[in-house]
């Protein structure tokens, strides 16, 4: 059983990752080439340069590297929580390019390097609350999406930002099945996209994103349910109209465009009042879910006058 030690472990990402890798190497030695390959690629992960943003980080203990990288939703690799880690090794996040399109003065297709170059990376430790009522604390490495948006000068008609994930059924076995309407798409209102808490992440625990966490570039919006955090982004489009979003297309009664974390508005099939912190151990009680995932002071004003029961 995994034991969560809130006070005992200082938030030392390197220690956590080394402990995980040592265990992986032992497992690999026992199990043979398949896992040995996994351990080798993990060891080869590239370290990023970044500063720590303590002001915008939670002081809660971070989840382990193992929890964050082996318990995932990434339906392109299967619907099981272990499947992304097991099946994403063959995915190629390099080379990568991102197309900027729609209502903007600057548009085109840019290499990942060109997208990242002007931005200083920061580590931000954010809570991630999944719509399925579990949560984690993740040390992302990224930069404000708003800084990227400004570079491309959206026109006055741009009211929303639409995101698209990569479509690669050869590398993503889940895309061979119509579980969702592929490719995965998401969207934000322009003011949500420009909010300083909204980031594009290129890494976690100080290293480039593992494939299963959305390599090489993914969205993180900490006050919204996890499914808004679209992974492996290939297109960012500025639009006049509300863009379609994958989970809303799939089950509109259950998943709205906003998807703000709200303990007072239940999912039609379960309560959103509490959450299970991954890694906390089976004897740890569920914890209350916080309004806007604990970021209400910073973002509640974005929704003044909006009926959050209708706009779920
Ligand atoms: N393209 C794509 N992005 C996705 C998903 C997905 O299935 N496909 N799952 C979402 C869901 S439901 C969650 S909770 C988060 C999980 O992010 P993590 O694996 O980094 O914890 O990714 C989101 N982004
Ligand atoms: Mo999720």
Mind listing the pLDDT tens digit for each residue in 140-195? Answer: 999 999 999 999 999 999 999 999 999 999 999 999 999 999 999 999 999 999 99
2 occurs within a structural domain = no
41 occurs within a structural domain = yes
* Cα–Cα distance, 243 to 259 (Å, whole number): 14
310 occurs within a structural domain = no
For residue 211 and ligand 1, the question of a CB distance below 6 A is answered with no
Q: Whose C-alpha lies nearest to ligand 1, atom 19?
A: 72
For residue 289 and ligand 1, the question of a CB distance below 6 A is answered with no
153 occurs within a structural domain = yes
Domain that holds residue 21: 11-301
For residue 245 and ligand 1, the question of a CB distance below 6 A is answered with no
pLDDT at 130: 98
102 occurs within a structural domain = yes
Q: What is the tally of structural domains in the chain?
A: 1
308 occurs within a structural domain = no
3 occurs within a structural domain = no
Ligand 1 atom with minimal separation from the 184 CA: 1
Q: Which residues of the chain have pLDDT under 50?
A: 1-12, 27, 29-40
pLDDT at 23: 53
73 occurs within a structural domain = yes
Q: Whose C-alpha lies nearest to ligand 1, atom 24?
A: 230
Query: Across-strand partners of 137?
Result: 127
* Cα–Cα distance, 65 to 21 (Å, whole number): 9
Q: What CATH number should be reported for the domain holding residue 26? A: 3.90.420.10
Measured in angstroms, how far is the CA atom of residue 212 from the centroid of ligand 2?
13
Ligand 1 atom with minimal separation from the 136 CA: 21
pLDDT at 22: 60
286: which DSSP letter? P
- Its sign, for the CA torsion 150, 152, 153, 159, is negative
Do 290 and 296 contact (CB within 8 A), yes or no? Answer: yes
């Amino acid at each position: 059983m995994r034991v969560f030690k809130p006070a005992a472990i200082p938030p030392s990402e390197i220690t956590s990752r080394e402990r995980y890798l040592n265990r992986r190497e032992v497992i690999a030695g026992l199990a043979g080439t398949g896992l040995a390959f996994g351990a080798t690629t993990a060891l080869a992960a590239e370290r990023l340069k970044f500063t720590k943003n303590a002001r915008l980080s939670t002081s809660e203990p971070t989840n382990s590297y193992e929890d964050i990288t082996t318990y995932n939703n990434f339906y392109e690799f299967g619907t099981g929580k272990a499947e992304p880690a097991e099946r994403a090794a063959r995915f190629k996040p390099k080379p990568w390019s991102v197309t900027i399109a729609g209502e903007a003065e600057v548009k085109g297709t840019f290499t990942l390097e060109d997208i990242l170059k002007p931005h200083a990376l920061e580590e931000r430790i954010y809570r991630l609350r999944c719509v399925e009522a579990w949560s984690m604390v993740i040390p992302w490495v990224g930069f404000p999406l708003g800084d990227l948006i400004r570079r491309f000068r959206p026109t006055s008609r741009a009211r929303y930002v639409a995101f698209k994930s990569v479509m690669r059924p050869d590398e993503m076995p889940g895309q061979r099945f119509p579980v969702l309407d592929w490719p995965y798409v998401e969207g934000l209102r322009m003011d949500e996209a420009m909010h300083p808490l909204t980031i594009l992440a290129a890494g976690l625990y100080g290293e480039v994103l593992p494939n299963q966490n959305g390599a090489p570039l993914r969205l993180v919006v900490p006050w919204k349910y996890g499914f808004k955090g679209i992974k492996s982004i290939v297109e960012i489009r500025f639009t006049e109209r509300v863009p379609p979003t994958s989970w809303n297309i799939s089950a509109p009664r259950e998943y709205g465009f906003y998807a703000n974390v709200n303990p007072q508005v239940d999912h039609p099939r379960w309560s959103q009042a509490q959450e299970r912190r991954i890694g906390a151990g089976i004897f740890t009680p569920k914890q209350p879910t916080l309004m806007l995932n604990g970021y209400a002071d910073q973002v509640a004003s974005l929704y003044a006058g909006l009926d959050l029961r209708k706009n779920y």
